[in-house]
Amino acid sequence: MTATAAELEALNVDKVIDARGTACPGPLLEAKKGMVSVPLGSTLEIWSTDPGTKTDISAWSAKVGHDFLGVLAADGYDRVFVIRRK
Amino acid sequence: MPGGEKLVIIATHGIREPEMATIPFVMAGAALASDVAVVMGFQADAIELLKHGAVETVLAAGFPPLAKLFADVRDLGGSLLACSPCMKARGIAPADLVAGAEEVAAGRLIAEITSATTTLTY
Domain boundaries, chain A: 17-81
Q: Where are the beta strands (DSSP E) in B28-94?
A: 37-42, 79-83
Q: Residue B3: its pLDDT value, please?
A: 52
What is the CATH superfamily name and number for domain A17-81?
TusA-like domain (3.30.110.40)
The answer to whether B73 touches B29, Cβ cutoff 8 Å, is yes
Mutate to test the interface with B, among A22, A29, A82 (most CBs of B within 10 A): A29
Q: Is A22 in the B-facing interface, judged by CB distances under 8 Å?
A: yes
Whether domain B2-121 has CATH 3.30.750.24: no
pLDDT tens profile B46-90: 999 999 999 998 999 999 999 999 999 999 999 999 999 999 999
Is the pLDDT score of B2 beyond 50?
no
Confidence category of residue A1, pLDDT binned at 50, 70, 90: low
A49 touches chain B (CB under 8 A): no
Go through chain A and tell me how many residues it has.
86
Long-range Cβ pairs for the range A54-58 (8 Å, 24+): A54/A78, A54/A80, A56/A24, A56/A25, A56/A27, A56/A28, A56/B30, A57/A27, A57/A28, A57/A31, A57/A82
- A46 interfaces chain B, CB cutoff of 8 Å: no
| Chain segment A32-45, per-residue pLDDT in tens | 999 999 999 999 99
Parallel/antiparallel/unpaired status of strands A15-18 and A43-48: parallel
ipTM surpassing 0.90, yes or no? no
The pLDDT assigned to A2 comes to: 85
pLDDT tens digits, one per residue of A62-73: 999 999 999 999
Q: Which stretches of chain B sit within 8 Å of chain A by CB?
A: 26, 29-30, 32-35, 62-64, 68-69, 72, 76
Average pLDDT score over residue span B6-24: 98
